[in-house]
Amino acid sequence: MDEPRTILHVDMDAFYASIEQRDDPSLRGKPVIVGGDGERGVVCAASYEARRFGVHSALASVIAKRRCPHAHFLPVRMSHYVAVSREIFAILRDFTPLCEPLSIDEAFLDVTGSLRLFGGGRAIAEAIRARIKEELDLTASVGVASSKYVAKVASDHDKPDGLVLVPFGEEAAFLAPLPIEVFWGVGPVTAQTLRRLGIEKVDDIQRADPALLEARLGNLADHLGRLARGQDPRPVQPGRRRKSMGSEVTLGEDCADRDALAGHLARQASTVAFGLRSEGLRGRTVVLKIRRPDRGLVTRSETLEHPTDDEVVIVRTAKRLLAEKLPMPAGGVRLIGLQVSGLDPADGQLGLFGASPETEKRRATLKGADAVRRRFGERMIQPASALGHGRRTEASPQAAARAEARGRVKPRPPGGRDEGQSGTSRTNERGRS
Ligand SMILES: [Mg+2]
């Protein structure tokens, strides 16, 4: 067998409901149901307090209300949850670029290559849980094991707020006492078949006669046999990544003032750099984009020697393009935008490869600034040159998502919620969240 891998399965606890309880402390410790509350509404997520009453995701809201009449029923704020999810994945990718999202609140991480840097699997799991708690005030459950399958079972084993490590070689013993429902791909029908064969626990599969199993279960027997021994060779596959990140603004009136335009670029550089860092990316090419009053598009780009996620580098490059490469159109500029492309995962292990102390210091500064920005909103931290240029009208999705994420530190408007997307079955959370 190959070198043992160390794989983490990170799973947020009652994700949507926990975000709502975090955002409105008066809901903490109370049953919270996120979902549609109309006649045909469906529960998307339930807090653990509500689960005690038999409320779970995908349950009809009408039934949920009957089971737990005193629950707080809240609409789904999907784009807010997506923004929080992005911050969680930014934390995860600080530990390894080998991060495979399974859903909005769940991921596999292969940290085999990060063990020496961050300590063992348990240390990494603890560090991830601590950062999620500290920076986002949310809890995650983590399973650590030598395969995806066992890590996933482990993360669920001590939920919520759990950390379960299954040492290499002890996978079969860990799985043995668990009911057969923990098998991937075993639905109620297969479970019934297995029970009829006297198979109730993983242990029963481990001890069963393989020939008998195959006679009764066909191909499934081999699959279950492997899983029962904790064998799952599938690699962690990082998802496809975005190719560029940008921010642009259509100006209130056409503008030919290079200083004013440079101010917009500074703000956009800050937004884009924050977005890059949040997604664990760096880019190599800075693109300045403008639209003339006749709507014609002009772009100028420069490719950097080293990929960056630092607004200082990005804005310096963009301003140079503005000053030196861009003839000012007659009548000025209607829209100005900044984009960084040629993106690659930022190596979470920076500093190992001889980064200068200045670089490390700069990174620490940016990290601190990002944490403040995540907590209090992006306007708290801006380069000096971005101040005093009027209202932001950036329309990038990143900016919009963050604008919404900012809402969480503001008090709720009385009697209402700041976003009204109603919950329906189309945003169902997974069964166990
Ligand atoms: Mg979850």
Give the pLDDT confidence of 314-352 residue by residue, as tens digits.
999 999 999 999 989 989 999 999 999 988 776 533 333
CA distance 351 to 153: 34
CA distance 290 to 267: 15
Cα distances (angstroms) measured from residue 151 to each of 89, 145, 252, 338, 433: 18, 5, 53, 41, 15
Q: What angle do CA 85, 378, 245 make, to 5 degrees?
A: 65
CA distance 291 to 298: 6
CA distance 335 to 73: 42
The SS3 assignment for 311 reads helix
Residue 44 CA to ligand 1 center (angstroms) comes to 12
Supply the pLDDT for residue 72.
96
CA distance 274 to 23: 22
- Most confident range (mean pLDDT) of 162-166, 282-286, 288-292, 350-354 is 162-166
How much is the average pLDDT of 153-158?
Answer: 95
Residue 84 CA to ligand 1 center (angstroms) comes to 13
Residue 14 CA to ligand 1 center (angstroms) comes to 6
CA distance 293 to 254: 7
- What's 150's DSSP letter? H
In the structure, ligand 1 is a single-atom ion and the residues with CB under 5 Å from it are: 11-12, 15, 105, 433
Q: Beta-carbon neighbour count of residue 15 at 10 Å?
A: 25
Residue 430 CA to ligand 1 center (angstroms) comes to 7
Higher pLDDT, 218 or 33: 33
**Is the CB of residue 264 less than 8 Å from the CB of residue 250?**
no
Supply the pLDDT for residue 44.
86
CA distance 128 to 414: 35
Q: What angle do CA 88, 89, 93 make, to 5 degrees?
A: 125
| Phi and psi at residue 31, to the nearest 5° | -70, 125
Q: Is the pLDDT of residue 122 over 90?
A: yes
Architecture of domain 171-228: Orthogonal Bundle (1.10)
Supply the pLDDT for residue 185.
66
pLDDT band at residue 165 under the 50/70/90 scheme: very high
Tokens of 284: 């190599």
Q: Is the pLDDT of residue 420 over 70?
A: no
CA distance 101 to 398: 19
Residue 41 CA to ligand 1 center (angstroms) comes to 21
CA distance 100 to 380: 32
Domain with CATH 1.10.150.20 in the chain: 171-228
Residue 43 CA to ligand 1 center (angstroms) comes to 14
Residue 253 CA to ligand 1 center (angstroms) comes to 46
The SS3 assignment for 419 reads coil
Residue 354 CA to ligand 1 center (angstroms) comes to 38
CA distance 153 to 146: 12
Q: Which residue shows structure tokens 């009453």?
A: 53
How much is the average pLDDT of 254-274?
Answer: 91
Q: What angle do CA 421, 424, 425 make, to 5 degrees?
A: 145
| Catalytic residue ranges | 106
CA distance 377 to 371: 10
Residue 106 CA to ligand 1 center (angstroms) comes to 6
Whole-structure pTM over 0.85, yes or no?
A: no
List, for residues 80-95, the tens digit of each pLDDT value.
888 899 899 999 999 9
CA distance 6 to 168: 9
Domain with CATH 3.30.70.270 in the chain: 1-167
Tokens of 189: 């029908």
Q: What is the mean pLDDT of the chain?
A: 81
Supply the pLDDT for residue 412.
33
CATH fold label, 244-408: Dna Ligase; domain 1 (3.30.1490)
| Phi and psi at residue 316, to the nearest 5° | -60, -45
Share of the chain above pLDDT 90, in %: 48
Higher pLDDT, 171 or 238: 171
Task: Give the class (CATH, top level) of 1-167.
Answer: alpha beta
**Is the CB of residue 90 less than 8 Å from the CB of residue 408?**
no
Domain with CATH 3.30.1490.100 in the chain: 244-408
Residue 413 CA to ligand 1 center (angstroms) comes to 28
Residue 11 CA to ligand 1 center (angstroms) comes to 5
